[in-house]
Amino acid sequence: MSNFPGGHTNPFGGPSSSGMQRVKEDEEMDTLVSPQGASFQPGGFGRASGSSPFGGSFNPQPVGDADLPANYTLGRRTSVSAESMNPAASASDNWSPPSHSKTQDQISRISAAVAANFLFSHLDDEQKYLVLDALFEKPIPAKGIKVISQGDAGDNFYVVEKGNFDVYIHPSGSIQAGSDGLGKKVASIGPGGSFGELALMYNAPRAATIISTEAGSLLWALDRLTFRRILMDAAFQRRRMYESFLEEVTLLSSLTAYERSKIADALETQKFAAGDVIIKEGDIGEAFFLLESGTAAVTKAENGDKVLLQYSKGDYFGELALLDDKPRAASVHALTDVKVASLGKDGFRRLLGPVEERMREQDPSKRQAGAQTGARAAAHAPHASLGGDGVDPLQS
Amino acid sequence: MGASASPASMSPSRKLFGENIAETVAQSFGKQFSHDEHRGDERKDPEHDANQAQDMRKAQEQQSIASQHSKEETSSPDEIAEAPAKKKLGQSSKLLRIEDFNLLKTLGTGTFARVWLAKLSKPRSEEEKEGIFALKVLRKVDVIKLKQVEHVRNERNTLRAVAGHPFITTLKRTFSDRECLYMVLDYCPGGELFTYLRRARRFNEPTSRFYAAEIVLILEFLHETEGVAYRDLKPENILLDADGHIKLVDFGFAKKLGNTETYTLCGTPEYLAPEVIKNTGHGKAVDWWAFGILLYEFLIGQPPFWDPNPMKIYSKIVGGHIPFPTVPIDFVRQQQRDRTPSANTGLETQRPSKQTESSQKSSHLTPDQPPRRSEKTRNSQGQEMSLFPAPAARSLILAVCTSNPSQRLGNLAGGVQQVKDHEFFKDVDWDALYKKTMKGPIIPSYSGGIDASCFDEYAPPTSEELQERFTDEMDQGYGEAFAEF
């Protein structure tokens, strides 16, 4: 493992400047040869390296799974860490992500360049927009400019807009003095390529040197703090939004704040296009839904196409599925593009255990029997006031 | 092998601390004296008095850390959880100085810390003479430069809160001077579990189970009693004591979270949970993910996700597929058997009633039986092959290594109990384990005293390590942050 100077390091870990550590004998293909996990000779430990107590006395039997890397380095692994980030502390600093205007063409080129990168591929549209917007131009005016130098601290991630760049790696782990101090050229990167993405995670030394090969090149750059801040703010806001939505769900009002935050953690975002059916009348209810954006409509077969009720941001429906296995009493379909957060019955039970009894006390369909709760239920749960009988159309 | 304290191995430490110490001590005594002088009504020589009082208090302090060493007992989780202010363990000492210790040998190093094997330099009794410590020295300037101030404070506060747990390193005292922060820890002579694992290549199932079970008890305590996420589980951070029990060390990333989430990326690349990589906020559940990776590495000899390029490790982790090797079926059976020479893992206790009870509890799994037919294949030589490790172990690994933390065993309703009830641990007597009634499966070769032969050799501190000084400017900015030491 390389050593990350920006990271926290295990005080019991390896020497801080040793670079790649290997136990030489272990570089070969891993084999499952040591049936005794624990038969040690006294004094067999404590040296920096040495021969295995099992050296050669077993018949190697190769691991058959090609998925396991055979060249695993068996040295001590260094801990890593990024700058401390605290959403509560940053809530008050009025930070907003930097915005650098780009043409639609530029945005689609950058978007294509990062499409295969897992750091970007799990972002939702909103986050992706903020991230792409935050990339700033970095002109590289001349040939021979080192954009990043092997061994240096990592700050930015780069996407090539224009020009070609050569990649050099020196076996020592950093640039050396002298004519061949850059090491070997291992690749070159042209427009649409990208490099330096590890810097978006934490401050690790650069693994290679990148040099411009022509004048008038152009890069897009993104720094770690901006990237991680965008992700953190989005995740933090989404959690708090879910928690506030969940506070309004009558059925869940007997749960503790902690239980609700566990539900908020577990909610999964689903998207529906206008016209898609979210819940189908007659189906057994398996999940409950919070509407995050867009509008949806409730219909019942007996009423034809008539929209009985509309849901918008913050509304919830289908929660009685968490209690019972009854068929849905109505359908819900998306009127616009809709984003919902949902949690299935199984996930709910796994997460919270037997809380149904507590919840049943708050069951809005039961509470309707007591007339005085009708208005309150209607205010908090729009679907519950449907048709004047106050019963959830999805679960009557 | 520098098992004993040769003068040669001591000299670097003298160089390291010699100069600053005199300075620091003089400064701090100076303050104390001038304070006393202002009282006015003192007839005797105030310097002499202060000196004597100081000496006496310091003697008590020395005696106290040495005696805790000799009669260390296991506290129950509730006893440990009592207000840290009431406990002697883990308190800050304004009297101890680095010169009170002889630094004998480096036990481990990091970018801003070095851990020394240490003894008291001026023992006043036989007990003090016997006292052996691991002294962790953190250089303030590096802590600040590497932006680890918050982590160091978290470490100090967590270790103080948890001091007394049988499987966690015991923080006895902390102190500081102008350049450094010091943590006086108990010495754990067996060295890193990492060393034993790499030598053995992999542990058999009973051995793996023993260590995994002790870690479950640690996580139960940290998560459910203290509300702390550890965040850096790996064999390098697990030491063995003289009886072969584990001690978790390095709480640099430990953080009291309660039920909230946090966002700072930290850990070790191969052990990072997917939610940490994706920066969507993470909680104590990251420790269960890492626990699964750790158990995998115990049994198979390397973690499931690896590549020379760290970004590819992260891509695999986020991808979520855990690869298991295929091995000859005899090998699977062999690994499940206890072939430990000490013949004592402390776990397979003879308590038939308990066994029956727990195997009924989790009858949905089929451990200790040959793998199911569908998992068997034949290789080109016609040898019968099977997935490795055996089903119960694989099932536990898969249950805690779920991409979605809301589906992760340990983080569900029932919490840690669900992990303890898992088939893989079906014969474990958890109470006996906590009380350390048995020895561990590996007994380190430790001859007693300052024998540190289970630890690797480390180079002495370089002059570079010592160049940069803690400046007045830094003291203004961060002095307060280190006040707890």
Mutate to test the interface with B, among A3, A4, A10, A255 (most CBs of B within 10 A): A10
With CA atoms as reference, the chain A residue closest to B191 would be A46
Of A52, A198, A350, the CB nearest to B199: A52
> Cα distance from B147 to chain A (closest Cα, Å)?
7
Which residues of B fall within a CB distance of 8 Å from A72? 302, 306
Q: Select which of B100, B177, B232, B429 is catalytic.
A: B232
A382 shares a domain with A335: yes
B136 annotated to bind ligand: yes
pLDDT at residue B299 greater than cutoff 70: yes
Q: Does the pLDDT at position B4 exceed 70?
A: no
A239 is a domain residue:
no
Measured distance CA(A261)–CA(A242) in Å, rounded: 8
- Asked if ipTM goes beyond 0.85, one says no
Which chain A residues touch B151 with a CB distance below 8 Å? 8, 81, 84
* Higher per-residue confidence, A394 vs B239: B239
* Domain-located, residue A184: yes
CB contact under 8 A, B324 and A65: yes
For residues B5-30, average pLDDT: 36
A219 & A252 share domain:
no
Q: Do A323 and A203 have their domain in common? A: no
* B232 catalytically annotated: yes
The reply to whether A146 and A112 lie within a common domain is yes
Residues of chain A contacting B112 with CB distance shorter than 8 Å: 9
Residue pairs spanning A and B at CB distance below 8 A: 278
How far does the CA of residue A386 sit from the closest CA of chain B (Å)? 33
pLDDT digits (tens, 9 = 90+) for B154-193: 999 999 999 889 999 999 999 999 889 999 999 999 999 9
Task: Judge whether A1 is closer than 8 Å to chain B, CB to CB.
Answer: yes
> Which amino acid is residue B62, in one-letter code?
Q
- A68 interface with B at CB cutoff 8 Å: yes
Whole-angstrom CA distances from B237 to A182, B250, B320 are 36, 6, 25
- pLDDT for the residue A21: 34
Q: Between chains, do B196 and A122 touch, taking CB under 8 Å as contact?
A: no
Structural domain contains residue A326: yes
- Number of independent structural domains in chain A: 2
Residues A138 and A211 in one domain: yes
Q: What is the pLDDT of residue B45?
A: 65
Yes or no, beta carbons of B263 and A86 under 8 Å apart: yes
Flag whether residue A101 sits within 8 Å of chain B, measured between CB atoms: no
pLDDT of B465: 64
**Is A206 annotated to bind ligand?**
yes
pLDDT reading at B121 higher than 80: yes
Within this chain, do residues A264 and A336 fall inside the same structural domain, yes or no?
yes
User: What is the structure's pLDDT at B43?
Assistant: 52
More reliable by pLDDT, B44 or B287: B287
Same domain, yes or no, for A111 and A146?
Answer: yes
What does the pLDDT average to over B267-274? 97
Query: Which of A195, A229, A263 corresponds to the end of one domain?
Result: A229
A127: distance to nearest CA of chain B, Å?
12
For residue A153, the domain's CATH number is 2.60.120.10
Nearest CA in chain A to B384: A64
| A330 shares a domain with A301 | yes
Is A130 found in the same domain as A102? yes
CA R_g for chain A:
29
Contacts of A9 in chain B (CB under 8 A): 109-113
Which amino acid makes up residue A124? D
- Looking at A168, A198, A229, which one is the last position of a domain? A229
Q: Tell me what the pLDDT averaged over chain B comes to.
A: 80
User: How far, CA to CA in Å, does B202 sit from each of A13, A67, A196?
Assistant: 20, 18, 35
CA angle A95, A96, A99 (to 5 degrees): 140
Residues of A within 8 A of B264 (CB-CB) are 81-86
Per-residue pLDDT band at B88 (split at 50, 70, 90): confident
Say yes or no to pLDDT of B303 above 50.
yes
Domain end, chosen from A229, A259, A284, is at A229
Looking at the domain assignment, is residue A165 inside a domain?
A: yes
Q: Spell out the residues 6+ positions from residue A150 whose beta carbon is closer than 8 angstroms to its own.
A: A168, A169, A170, A173, A174, A175, A182, A183, A205, A206, A207, A208, A209
Q: What residues of chain B lie within 8 A of the CB of A35, using their CB?
A: 204, 331, 334-335, 339
Q: Is A258 on the interface with B (CB under 8 A)?
A: yes
Task: Please check whether residue A356 touches B, CB under 8 A.
Answer: no
Do the domain assignments include residue A307? yes
| A288 shares a domain with A203 | no
Which structural domain, as residue segments, surrounds residue A257? 248-388
- Closest listed residue to residue B269, CA positions, set B311, B237, B297, B227: B311
Residue A85 lies inside a defined structural domain of this protein: no
Q: Residues B250, A12: contact at Cβ < 8 Å?
A: yes
Contact A122 B318 (CB under 8 A): yes
Q: Is A54 inside any structural domain?
A: no
- Residue B13 pLDDT: 36
What's phi and psi for B179, nearest 5 deg?
-95, -30
Q: How confident is the model at residue B392 (pLDDT cuts 50, 70, 90)?
A: very high
Which uninterrupted H or E stretch holds A80?
strand A80-81
> Nearest Cβ partner of A122 from B201, B263, B278?
B278
Distance from CA of A314 to the nearest CA of B (A): 21
pLDDT at B342 over 60: no
Q: Please report the DSSP string for B25-49 in residue order.
A: HHHHHHHHHHHHHTT----S-HHHH
The answer, for A170 touching chain B at a CB cutoff of 8 Å, is no
Instruction: Going from the first residue of chain A to its last (396 residues), give the mean pLDDT of each consecutive group of 10, the final group possibly shorter.
Output: 37 34 34 37 32 29 50 85 81 84 94 92 90 96 96 95 96 90 94 96 94 96 95 92 90 87 91 95 92 94 90 91 87 95 90 82 57 36 38 49
Q: What is the pLDDT of residue B403?
A: 95
Interchain CB contact of A235 with B (< 8 Å): yes
Least confident of A88-92, B4-8, B87-91, B199-203: B4-8
**Chain B residue numbers touching A14 (CB-CB < 8 A):** 109
Strands (E), B49-149: 91-92, 101-109, 113-120, 132-139
> What is the CA A363 to chain-centroid distance, rounded?
34
pLDDT of residue B354: 35
Which helix or strand (DSSP H or E) is residue B267 part of?
A: strand B266-267
Among B106-110, B115-119, B208-212, B238-242, whose mean pLDDT is lowest? B106-110
For an interface test with A, which of B280, B438, B447, B462 has the most A Cβ atoms less than 10 Å from its Cβ? Answer: B280
Q: How far apart are CA B4 and CA B9, in angstroms?
A: 9
Are B276 and B282 spatial neighbours (Cβ–Cβ below 8 Å)? yes
Q: Which chain B residues have a beta carbon less than 8 Å from that of A11?
A: 108-110, 113-115, 136, 250, 252
What's the pLDDT score for residue B18? 35
- Could you give all domains of chain B from N- to C-terminal order, each with its CATH number? 7-189+446-482 (3.30.200.20), 193-434 (1.10.510.10)
Q: Please name the residue of chain A whose CA is at the shortest distance from the CA of residue B149.
A: A84
Q: Which residue in chain B is spatially nearest to A260 when comparing CA positions?
A: B259
- Name the more confident of B313 and B73: B313
A175-208 in b/e form (b: 16+ CB < 10 A) is: beeeeeebbeeeeebeeeebbbbbbbbbbbbbbb
Which pLDDT band, with edges at 50, 70 and 90, does B82 fall under?
low
DSSP string, A265-315: HH-EEEEE-TT-EEE-TTSBP-EEEEEEES-EEEE-GGGTT---EEE-TT-
Same domain, A259 and A358: yes
Best mutation target, A1, A3, A4, A12, to test chain B (most B CBs within 10 A): A12
> Looking at chain A, which residue has its C-alpha nearest residue B152?
A8
Residues in B closer than 8 angstroms to A67, CB to CB, are 321, 323
pLDDT band at B338 (very low <50, low <70, confident <90, very high): low
pLDDT of residue B85: 61
Report the pLDDT value the prediction gives residue B374, as an integer from 0 to 100. Answer: 56
- Extract the tokens encoding A366: 């039961």
Residues 6+ apart with CB under 8 A from B52: none
Inform me whether the C-beta atom of residue A181 falls under 8 Å from chain B C-beta atoms: no
Calculate how close chain A gets to B185, using CA atoms only, in Å.
Answer: 13
Say yes or no for a CB contact (<8 Å) between A9 and B113.
Answer: yes
Q: Are residues A358 and A259 in the same domain?
A: yes
Count of CB atoms within 10 A of residue A2's CB? 17
